[in-house]
C-alpha cells in the first residue's frame, strides 16, 4: 500500500514537472513570436517610409538614379520575402542600400536642408533604431528558447512536442555594429 502511494506520488510529481516544462516552453515560443512580430511592425514602417524618401530625394539628385533604383529594388525584395531567412537577407540588403543613399546625399546640401528630408531622416533614424532594439530583444528571447530546447531535461520534452531552435536575427556585415575602439 505504502509502496503504491509512493509510486503514485512519483507519477504525479513527474506529470506535474512535464506539464510545467511544457508550459514554460510554450511561453518562451510565444514570446519569441511576439518579439518577431515587433520587428515586423518596424520593418513594415521602414518599407512605408522608403517611397516617400525616394520621391523627396529624386527632386534633388537626378544624377543618382542608380542609387535610388537600388533602394527601391531592395525594398521590393524585402516586402516580397516570405521565409525568415530570405527576409533577414533582404532587410540587410535594404539597410546597406539606404546607407549608401545617405552617404551620397551628403553631397547635396539643398537636399540636406529640405524640411521634408529632415523629417524623413529623423523618422528613418528612429525606425532603424527601433529595428535594432527589436532585434536585440528578439535575439534575447530566441537565445532563451534555444538554450531551453537544447538543455536536459527540457530537450526530451521539446523533441517530443516538436519545439525547435529558432534562428537569430544576425547583422551581416561586421562593420554594421560599431564596436568601441580598444586602446592599449
Partner 1 sequence: MPFSFVQIERDETQTIQWSFAVLILFYFFGASVLVFAVRGFILMHLLSNRELMTPGYRIHIFDWGILLWTFLGAGVAGFIHWNYSTDALIDKILWFMHGRVADPLKDDEKMFQNIVEEVSVATGGRYRIEPYIIPTSAMNAFAVQDFQGRSVIGITEGLLKRLNRGQLEAVIAHEAGHIASGDSLSTCVTSSIFNVFDNISDAAQMIINGAAYDRRGGGGAFFMLAILILVLSSILKSLGFLGSMFISRQREYRADAISVRLTRNPVALAEALYIISNRWKGVGMPGQSMEAIFIMSPRRNYLEDNEDWFSDLFTTHPPINRRIGILLDMAHTDKSVLDSALSEANARYTEPVSPTTPPDPRKGFLWMAMRAGQWVGPMGLDELRHQDWLTPTTMVRKMGAPVISQADEDNDLFPALPAKEELKKNQCPRCQVDLMEVPYEKVRVLKCPSCQGVLVKEMDVLSILGTREMTFSSQIAEMGDIMMKQPKPLQRSPYDAVYDEKSILCPWCLTSSPRMTRRFINPRYPIEIDKCRICARVWFDKDELEILQYLYEKDSPLPAGKA
Residue 162, interface with partner 1 (CB under 8 A)? no
CB-based contact 154:21 (threshold 8 Å): yes
For partner 1, the binding residue among 79, 104, 137, 171 (CB under 8 A) is 137
Residues ≥6 apart with Cβ < 8 Å to 163: 25, 29, 145, 149, 157
Round to the nearest angstrom and report the end-to-end CA distance of the chain.
Answer: 72
In the complex, minimum distance from the CB of residue 19 to partner 1, in angstroms, rounded to a whole number: 21
Task: By CB under 8 A, tell whether 134 contacts partner 1.
Answer: yes
Q: Which is nearer to partner 1, 38 or 92 (CB)?
A: 38
Distance CA 39, CA 118 (A): 24
Rounded to 5 degrees, φ, ψ at 38 are: -60, -45
Residues 22-81 that bind partner 1 (CB under 8 A): 31, 34-35, 38, 42
- Number of neighbouring beta carbons within 10 Å of residue 178: 6
Q: Which of 48, 140, 167, 172 binds partner 1 (CB under 8 A)?
A: 140
Binding site for partner 1 (CB under 8 A): 31, 34-35, 38, 42, 118-119, 122-123, 125-126, 129-130, 133-134, 136-137, 140-141, 143-144, 177-178, 180-183
Amino acid at each position: 500500500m505504502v509502496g503504491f502511494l509512493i509510486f503514485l506520488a512519483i507519477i504525479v510529481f513527474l506529470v506535474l514537472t512535464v506539464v510545467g516544462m511544457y508550459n514554460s516552453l510554450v511561453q518562451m515560443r510565444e514570446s519569441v513570436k511576439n518579439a518577431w512580430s515587433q520587428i515586423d511592425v518596424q520593418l513594415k514602417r521602414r518599407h512605408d517610409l522608403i517611397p516617400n524618401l525616394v520621391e523627396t530625394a529624386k527632386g534633388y539628385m537626378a544624377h543618382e538614379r542608380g542609387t535610388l533604383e537600388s533602394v527601391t529594388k531592395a525594398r521590393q525584395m524585402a516586402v516580397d520575402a516570405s521565409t525568415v531567412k530570405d527576409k533577414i537577407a533582404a532587410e540587410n540588403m535594404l539597410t546597406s542600400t539606404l546607407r549608401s543613399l545617405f552617404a551620397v546625399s551628403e553631397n547635396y546640401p539643398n537636399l540636406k536642408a529640405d524640411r521634408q528630408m529632415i523629417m524623413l531622416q529623423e523618422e528613418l533614424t528612429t525606425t532603424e533604431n527601433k529595428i535594432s532594439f527589436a532585434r536585440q530583444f528578439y535575439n534575447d528571447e530566441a537565445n532563451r528558447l534555444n538554450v531551453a530546447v537544447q538543455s536536459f531535461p527540457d530537450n526530451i520534452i521539446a523533441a517530443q512536442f516538436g519545439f525547435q531552435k529558432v534562428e537569430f536575427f544576425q547583422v551581416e556585415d561586421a562593420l554594421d555594429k560599431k564596436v568601441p575602439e580598444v586602446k592599449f
